[in-house]
Amino acid sequence: MTIAFQQCIDPDCGATYGVDEVHVSCPRCAEHDRVSLLDIRYDQTDDVSFETFERRWMTKGDEGDGALDFSGVWRFRELLPFYESTDQVVTIGEGRTNLQDARRLAGEIGLGRGRLFLQYEGLNPSGSFKDNGMTAAFTHARLIGAKRVACASTGNTSASLAMFASLSEMRGIVFIGSGKIALGKLSQALDYGARTLQIQGDFDDCLRHVHQIATERRELGIYLMNSVNPFRLEGQKAIMYRILEARDWNVPDWIVVPGGNLGNCSAFGKAFLELRERGLIDRVPRLAVIQASGANPLYELYTKRHVRWNDGRYDRDAVDRLYAEMDDSGYKPHTVASAIEIARPVNLPKALRALQIMDGVVREIDDDTILEHKAMVGRFGFGCEPASAASVAGTHLLVEEGVIGAGEDVVCILTGHELKDPDATVQYHTGIEKPDPQAPALPPEGRLANPPMPVADDLEAIIAAL
Ligand SMILES: Cc1ncc(COP(=O)(O)O)c(C=O)c1O
Ligand SMILES: [Zn+2]
């Protein structure tokens, strides 16, 4: 028998709420003008073993429990048992992703052969890791009877939300900013039929609005799907379970992940804490969160200003000071890795907690270095979108710093598919901002640039080019 509940993460509060309630922050803390995130917690007595999960891996994906076994999230359902019955689960076979032993790339970034692994979350149905979380949040939305669901998005969240909304017959609404959005992602939201609102603002503005609508205008019945929703993070824990499963349950030395709104790293810390509490693992890997230099609030707070979780009593004033400085200077986040172009990550406290659980580090990487490592991922494996490559660039930096040893096992999370943002790739290889196949190739920009060669419509010229 399992009892699931929601709990405030602030140790001085710790208020609990039922899973049939909808909150995106703690109501009791709100009464004292504090904002505190919620966790999903379990009072658990069911025993579970890694063998149970592994046995389900071969399932074809039939109805009922077969569909759950087929999912790379619900295969691990005893580790996220917040639903009341399996009929509530909304699944599309998400999470059947790949852990690649990236041997050639390992050598390029100073790691030993067989030490670097790439977790390709771009192989999810909507092309990014978001499907891991959406399946869980939609399951909760169905549990509480939601009809309309919404999110703010830099692109991937909206694609995933739109896909699950059409599948579950809920109305999907997405808020996107007016800046750059990768066209691959926007096209998905449009195609899957979500109402797409393009707000005259950036991601942080969109999130503020949709958050306000979901929490203060409850009569509109809009269920919030951003990663401030604790049920989403329950699904994202499964990325860690699959990595362990692919490694025969051997814990790696490092997990390296890009950080934007900081949902993933938060979920990873919780996943390892729970596995250790349940006696399924006896050590946790270290965590490296990699931000873009142009959108680096966690780097600024954790690495430069030494803000620590401190068992929940972190320095809230330091965070407020940073945000006030950003306001005063008119700071706007900017990076080629548009998925992580976020100035005020909502999961900051949980990320600090994950960094404590996993003895973590945070680094920042500039855009040119991100793009260079994206090209390396493409050349030595199969590609990823710019934000994802920050994890590989960050690993390279940490190896150079001597923080990661050449003989340690490192798993980088490649969060999104290469085809999400083809413009970034084509621009890197050709130096042309808007690729036009008729135009002559310009001098290439990137070190690994591989521009198309113009060749005359003539056999001898083609053979000469070969
Ligand atoms: C491809 C990709 N990578 C990384 C991130 C950042 O993830 P998180 O918000 O969990 O830090 C996102 C979020 O949109 C994303 O789409
Ligand atoms: Zn509270």
Residue 131: CA atoms inside 13 Å, Cβ hemisphere, count? 27
Domain containing residue 248: CATH number: 3.40.50.1100
Of the listed ligands, the closest to the CA of 133 is: 1
Q: Which residues line ligand 1 (CB under 6 A)?
A: 128, 154, 156-157, 227, 258-264, 339-340, 385, 387-388, 415-416
**Radius of gyration, CA atoms only, the chain:** 22
Measured from the Cβ of residue 248, the count of other Cβ atoms closer than 10 Å reads: 8
Pair 246, 354 in one domain: yes
Pair 28, 102 in one domain: no
Measured from the Cβ of residue 69, the count of other Cβ atoms closer than 10 Å reads: 19
Assess if residue 270 is contained within a domain.
yes
Assess if residue 314 is contained within a domain.
yes
Taking the whole predicted model, whether its pTM rises above 0.85 is answered as: yes
| Nearest atom within ligand 1 for CA of residue 345 | 9
- pLDDT the model gives residue 181: 79
Distance (Å) from CA 13 to ligand 1 centroid: 29
List the domain range (segments joined by +) for residue 246: 98-124+232-420
9 neighbors 353 (Cβ within 8 angstroms): yes
- pLDDT the model gives residue 440: 47
Assess if residue 394 is contained within a domain.
yes
Assess if residue 432 is contained within a domain.
no
| Ion ligand 2 residues within 5 Å by Cβ | 8, 10, 13, 15, 26, 28-29, 36
Pair 322, 244 in one domain: yes
Report d(CA 27, CA 178) in Å as an integer.
Answer: 32
User: What sign for the dihedral angle of Cα 244, 246, 248, 250?
Assistant: negative
Assess if residue 325 is contained within a domain.
yes
Assess if residue 13 is contained within a domain.
yes
Distance (Å) from CA 38 to ligand 2 centroid: 8
- pLDDT the model gives residue 444: 55
Domains contained in the chain, number:
2
| Nearest atom within ligand 1 for CA of residue 258 | 4
| Nearest atom within ligand 1 for CA of residue 420 | 1
384-418 confidence digits (pLDDT tens): 999 999 999 999 999 999 999 999 999 999 999 99
194-208, 241-255, 423-437: least confident range = 423-437
Rounded to the nearest 10 degrees, what angle do helices 130-144 and 156-168 cross at? 40
421 neighbors 386 (Cβ within 8 angstroms): yes
| Nearest atom within ligand 1 for CA of residue 267 | 10
Assess if residue 240 is contained within a domain.
yes
300-337 confidence digits (pLDDT tens): 999 999 999 999 999 999 999 999 999 999 999 999 99
Assess if residue 337 is contained within a domain.
yes
255-293 confidence digits (pLDDT tens): 999 999 999 999 999 999 999 999 999 999 999 999 999
